[in-house]
Amino acid sequence: MRRSFLTPALWIPAGLAIALLGLPLVALIVRAPWAQLPELLSRSEVLQALGLSLGTASIATVVSLALGIPLALVLARSADWPAVPRRLLRALVTVPLVLPPVVGGVALLLLLGRRGLIGQFLPFQIPFSTTAVVIAQVFVAMPFLVLAVESAVRASDRRFETAAATLGATRWTILRRVTLPLVAPGVSAGALLCFTRALGEFGATITFAGSFPGVTQTLPIATYLELQRDPDAAIALSLTLMVVSVAVLVTLRDRWVPGLTS
């Protein structure tokens, strides 16, 4: 067993941090209208919103994997680049994490809306469609995947790739047989984070995709609207979202970044 260097004094701020993160969720559980819960959650509009949320978040995760893993590999190898493009690329990937999602939604409208930079040339309309929900979720959630995969790539031992290359493997084979298996834990951790973030997406979605039951009204949007009319129902919806998110995140265990935890 490794010796712990944790001083007991650290437990005070750490305990405060746990309370700050955990107690609001406890309050949600305590205040939940448990008696009406089955009725509130079996309403057709709730099931519709939940189904839409799970569906769009799944598609957004698949899209993020397809686009995000290549971006993460590029980002991890950008260490050899000059400082300016390297930092610009890194900032670009990080911006959606720190930007208010509503701003992201406005930006997407200005790009893909009917009068947007690109949108004005499209023969079809993107806003107010389920496609718009997925685009908003990818915009907000993909960086989680990219950064998780990127740190996995950086932490992996590049000598395996060099060895494969000296044995005559092509670049494509190295990627498929060496690099990706090495970073697989980072990919699955990133995918789970990306999925849960997409599931909770609100600001960019309501701004870019709007809110229409069954088409664009995801569970977070239904929750927000319900809060205006029936707070108990809103608490029930929040609880559902929380249970799904926590269930997914618990499967993460300690695999947040391989190499640091193994």
Partner 1 sequence: MRRPLVLAALAAVALTGCAAVPEPAPTNEGTVAGTVTVFAAASLTESFQAIADAFTAEHPNVQVTFNFGGSSGLATQIVEGAPADVFAAASPATMTTVTDAGLATDPADFATNTLEIAVPTDNPGGVTGLADFANPDLAIALCAAEVPCGAAAAKALDAAGIVASVDTYEQDVRAVLTKIELGEVDAGLVYRTDVLAAGAKVKGIEFPEASGAIARYPIAALTASANPDSAAAFAAFVLSDAGQRILQKAGFGAP
Q: In the complex, what is the shortest distance from the CB of residue 40 to partner 1, in angstroms, rounded to a whole number?
A: 15
Give percent helix, percent strand, percent coil of the chain, each to the nearest 5. 75, 0, 25
Question: Number of C-alpha atoms within 13 angstroms, CB side, residue 108?
Answer: 30
Q: In the complex, what is the shortest distance from the CB of residue 143 to partner 1, in angstroms, rounded to a whole number?
A: 25
145 counts as binding partner 1 under rule CB under 8 A: no
* Site map 172..211 versus partner 1, x via CB under 8 A: ----------------------------------xx-xxx
In the region spanning residues 73 to 132, those forming contacts with partner 1, defined by CB under 8 A, are 109-110, 113-115, 125, 127-128
In the region spanning residues 15 to 74, those forming contacts with partner 1, defined by CB under 8 A, are none
Structure tokens at 104: 């992201």
Q: Which is nearer to partner 1, 7 or 44 (CB)?
A: 44
* Site map 216..255 versus partner 1, x via CB under 8 A: xx---x--xxxxxx-x------------------------
What's the distance, CA 142 to chain centroid? Answer: 6
Matching residue, tokens 């559980």: 29
Q: Which is nearer to partner 1, 6 or 30 (CB)?
A: 30
Number of Cβ atoms within 10 Å of the Cβ of 78: 16
What's the distance, CA 66 to chain centroid? Answer: 14
DSSP secondary-structure letter at 156? S
Nearest-Å Rg of the Cα atoms of the chain is 21
Q: Which is nearer to partner 1, 76 or 236 (CB)?
A: 236
d(CA 127, CA 205): 10
Contact positions vs partner 1 (CB under 8 A): 109-110, 113-115, 125, 127-128, 206-207, 209-213, 216-217, 221, 224-229, 231
